[in-house]
Amino acid sequence: MRTFAKKPKATQQTTSPKSAIPGRAHFGQSREVSSLQRLIGNQAVQRLSEANTRDVKEDSTTKITGFGHDFSQIPVHATTPMPVQPRVTTGVPGDHYDNAGDRRAEPAQDDHRPTDLDRAAQAPDDLARDTFGFGTLRIIPIPASAAGARSSPTMPTADGGEQDIFVPPPTGGGNTAPANPSQVVPTPETDSCEQPRSMNKIVSGSFLGGLTMDDYFPDLSGQGFWAHAGTGGPFDTGTQAGGNAQLFGVIPSPCLPSQFHLEQTANPVRFRIGGVAHPLEGTTFDDIARSGRDFSRAPSRQEFLGGGAAPLGFIISMADPPSVNHGPSRPDVERDTNFVSSLVGPSGRQSVSWSQSVHVAGGVVTVNTLT
């Protein structure tokens, strides 16, 4: 009969009953170990104990060391989507990249995305001025004209001669204005800054822009040279017979108004004073230049933004109250004049024609039309 001897306790492999590894056997002085010793011998039990102990150590080592480097077995479920913040970097705790990530941690909580306006506001001035969308409002400076103002504008005379009150524009630009209204051919409208979009007239009804004759010619205000100053059409003050006309051109609002100027020609097809032909009869002349006024600037040139009753765009306007002096002691007058008013751009113009007839006989106005 074979006998079994117990090994000294020092040779047995034991594991603390407080082991943190779940599901592992605890080796010590237990009945299970004694039973195994009786069945398979002390050496076999010792080898089994050593193998299990080795598994525990290797498994524990793998779990502990792998915790710092291997995340492949750990599922990650984000409860709240977080935006990815550009330029956030992380690395080994405490190194340069980790610190960079810390520096970006607070901005990363901001959901704001930079817009074109943000970038334009942070850009240098010369770049910000070039960052534009067409939905953004442009403010265009209007430089003063280089031409000097006339010191003494022409006043209406008392001898029944030419009474047109007007102003000269800068010279040059565009083609020559036609002499007669019948020669005016409308130019197709365009949004180019090379020529105006349109040219228009008001010979009846209210002036645009809330303007009046007093705004265009403040030096003549209150002196009886016109009536109903804010509307177009014929007038007779008792001493002056004539009519008010507002002439205005339209340019695209992004264009520079300083690149456009006004022109006007007059052609008195019949001009008689006391039955005698006036030297200007049958001629075509620069009506603005004859007035001696500077129409490259306010007050004679008035500008405003279109909209409402006015066409869309930027408006460049002028006004004209052509008239003749009359009274019981004045000679008879017959004057039929054709006008062509133009807005001229760098390489093109838009023109509009209009006509006036004023006849006075025996101090009484017999004809006064503005068409």
pLDDT for residue 234 = 98
Q: Which tokens belong to 370?
A: 């503005």
Q: Does 109 score more than 70 pLDDT?
A: no
> Does the pLDDT value for residue 223 go beyond 80?
yes
Q: Which residues of 316-349 are buried (b: 16+ CB within 10 A; e: fewer)?
A: bbbbbbbbbbbeeebbbbbbbbbbbbbbbbeebb
Residue 193: per-residue pLDDT: 95
Residues 263-290 have a mean pLDDT of 97
Residue 150 has pLDDT above 70, yes or no: no
**pLDDT digit string, tens, across residues 53-70:** 555 455 544 444 444 555
Q: Which residue has the tokens 């620069």?
A: 286
pLDDT score of 227 more than 80: yes
Coil vs helix vs strand at 116: helix
Section 302-328 average pLDDT? 95
The whole-angstrom separation of Cα 218 and Cα 200 is: 23
Of residues 159 and 23, the one with the higher pLDDT is 23
Q: How many helices (DSSP H) and strands (DSSP E) are in the chain?
A: 7, 13
Question: Residue 213: what pLDDT?
Answer: 97
Q: Which of 48-52, 187-191, 196-200 bottoms out in mean pLDDT, i.e. has the lowest?
A: 48-52
pLDDT of residue 191: 80
Mean pLDDT, residues 222-241:
96
Q: At what angle do helices 42-66 and 31-40 cross, to 10 degrees?
A: 130
**What's the pLDDT tens digit per position in 69-84?**
555 565 555 555 555 4
Q: What percentage of the chain reaches a pLDDT higher than 90?
A: 48
Q: Mention every residue, 6+ apart, whose C-beta is less than 8 A from residue 186.
A: 350
Give the DSSP letter of residue 31.
Answer: H
Measured distance CA(263)–CA(170) in Å, rounded: 9
Residue 45's pLDDT is 53
Question: In the predicted model, is pLDDT for residue 159 greater than 80?
Answer: no
